[in-house]
Structure 1
């Protein structure tokens, strides 16, 4: 039984670390507006993703210019529209590409492709079939914001859920709340930097540091109390800055935020190898949690907040993030406590895992601060 639990924890660590080698989860931003039979909007797609799909760097010098994007406009439009289908009442809406612009997101340059569709009848429910990069990047997600009058609906699309039907009839505020809970929970699971930061703080929760080495705690209750303090501090901090940023009260440069989040993961992980902060990890979690809140806000900005249920949707997204965190804690804590006294946990998981996390985060930091692409 003990050996089985060891392998379970090792597998959990590998599952977390494997996708963490991505610089940032690949996203596109699809914004649509429905007016009677007409659907119009824009589609923001990362140039690095289009380079993989259709090739945009014409001269192969590693630097994509506006002239190169313009020269590949037809290929980009054809590829994008071949991966998106809109329909209403079972009838396909005719999609047409429009002009193309360039915009910058937190993770680099994006093409902004204007799109327009005409349906046969007035749209009452829109079916969206989204398959962008489904054969290239299984982690890719499309963030959809659909506007109709004063109402904004959102959805997350990807290889595991390529189709969604959005009904234009007014939904209850509680339905929108539930949708944003789902978005928040999903984001914490694909926000690998947030997960690794949280795990770095949780790894020592079942241990105590004395005589210059780690030792297993005597009771699960003590470890649980430590976890509650850390998660509560992290939650309070990122909830505060998420709210301030989402409401436009405080904003920070995206590159600074993303770089600081990567740095926070490094510091938290190395603190497990060379402990400087032990009893004060909750304060540590609060301080860096403020930065992570701005990171959560960047995703919420892509989804948008519905004007008719802004506060409730914001709370729902935050609740979803917390539920995602609690799911991680619920799996991690009992297994970690069971293994706490073994060398496998204290050396392979605690020290070795922390070093691996720090190395991954160091690559993130270099990519984000210097605008490099070190990992595919």
Structure 2
């Protein structure tokens, strides 16, 4: 039991990494000679800073939020600086307090107007919300003018942006969206562990007596990996597109819980094999779930159709590049170690058991956990 407890403590930090990153959604629109803005910030993030939950019962009431609306507005707008043609714009809050639902919970909406000395054509943005508390926080920014828009992602290391409001096009930021897709793979630990659980047996062959033996040549291992990764790619691309385009919608808690369950299933299959020789079929079936998980980031952007198509393609390309980078790093090393007890016992069996244990923690949190809500 002590060893199990020690293993759990070692793996506990991994559980925290699997949650959806802290995001806010900032929309800036040029209208006439100025800018209007809408900023969606998660209630759970605001509560950590401003202690909105006065009763301490895990639920923010509408009355508690209205009572602190001035504090929320002051805090949020104080973390944004805009300037047009080098001259600062004055931010003025507007509109009644309101909330919206995103894929990961309830968000407070801060509406505002930016008064600039002249009609903005070149906009400078300095974003500093929550970086002092959460270095992994991201600001998802959409800038629009005349029916066209661009999407940017701001982070602690990249918190300033310079945007020309003339000739806005999602293609100008296509490369940045691809990079975000790559980052999403490496930040989404549940997806990574699922992929590695599928790849671990690729350099081994299971005998009828249950023993794992190394494959003799690199070619069969590569073909096995290609089938698994291709099946996973096709599956999650289908559901990613269907979810983002609004054809299919599933509750976030169900999707995230099912993803955790799929990681458990893939890992335990390496220890107690049920699916033999057709792991690509399992990758195809379980990849459908992971596409819904990838979709949450894009759905919350509320992009117009044209920008959505470009962003979807770029994000998907980035996800695939991230997966290929993982495979390229993993497969040669796994092939070199395939004949050792280190690989067959410690990595395949022990590693799969550890992945299953971490995924069990995720499943319990996602299926039965209670997040911050508003009543």
Q: Structure 1 length normalisation: TM-score?
A: 0.88
Give aligned pairs, total: 361
Structure-2 residue corresponding to 1:25: 21
Structure-2 residue corresponding to 1:57: 53
Structure 1 residue 171, shift from structure 2 partner:
4.8
Selected match of 1:270 from 249, 259, 268: 268
Task: State yes or no: 1:289 paired with 2:292.
Answer: no
Structure-2 residue corresponding to 1:195: 192
Is contact 2:149–2:168 with CA below 8 Å preserved after alignment? no
* Cα separation, partners in 2 of 1:356 and 1:137, compared to 1, 3 Å: farther
Matches within 5 A, 1:158-237: 158-171=155-168, 174-210=171-207, 211-237=209-235
Selected match of 2:42 from 20, 29, 46: 46
- Stretch of structure 1 that moved more, 218-227 or 310-319: 310-319
Structure-2 residue corresponding to 1:351: 349
C-alpha separation in 2, matches of 1:49 and 1:365: 23
**What's the RMSD between the two structures over aligned residues?**
2.5
Structure 1 residue 322, shift from structure 2 partner:
0.7
Is contact 1:263–1:361 with CA below 8 Å preserved after alignment? yes
Q: Structure 2 length normalisation: TM-score?
A: 0.88
Task: State yes or no: 1:140 paired with 2:137.
Answer: yes
* Cα separation, partners in 2 of 1:241 and 1:343, compared to 1, 3 Å: same
Structure 1 residue 86, shift from structure 2 partner:
1.6
* Cα separation, partners in 2 of 1:171 and 1:63, compared to 1, 3 Å: closer
Structure-1 residue corresponding to 2:5: none
C-alpha separation in 2, matches of 1:112 and 1:184: 26
* Cα separation, partners in 2 of 1:293 and 1:87, compared to 1, 3 Å: same
Helix, strand or coil at the partner of 1:33: strand
Q: What's the CA shift string for 1:166-202, capped at 9, x where partnerless?
A: 2222256643543432332222222222222112111
C-alpha separation in 2, matches of 1:82 and 1:332: 45
* Cα separation, partners in 2 of 1:288 and 1:119, compared to 1, 3 Å: same
C-alpha separation in 2, matches of 1:222 and 1:283: 17
* Cα separation, partners in 2 of 1:124 and 1:277, compared to 1, 3 Å: same
* Cα separation, partners in 2 of 1:59 and 1:38, compared to 1, 3 Å: same
Structure-2 residue corresponding to 1:127: 124
Task: State yes or no: 1:70 paired with 2:75.
Answer: no
* Cα separation, partners in 2 of 1:171 and 1:108, compared to 1, 3 Å: closer
* Cα separation, partners in 2 of 1:174 and 1:234, compared to 1, 3 Å: same
Helix, strand or coil at the partner of 1:133: coil
Task: State yes or no: 1:280 paired with 2:278.
Answer: yes
Runs of 5+ unmatched residues, structure 1: 1-13
Structure 1 residue 260, shift from structure 2 partner:
1.4
C-alpha separation in 1, matches of 2:173 and 2:220: 38
Structure-2 residue corresponding to 1:255: 253
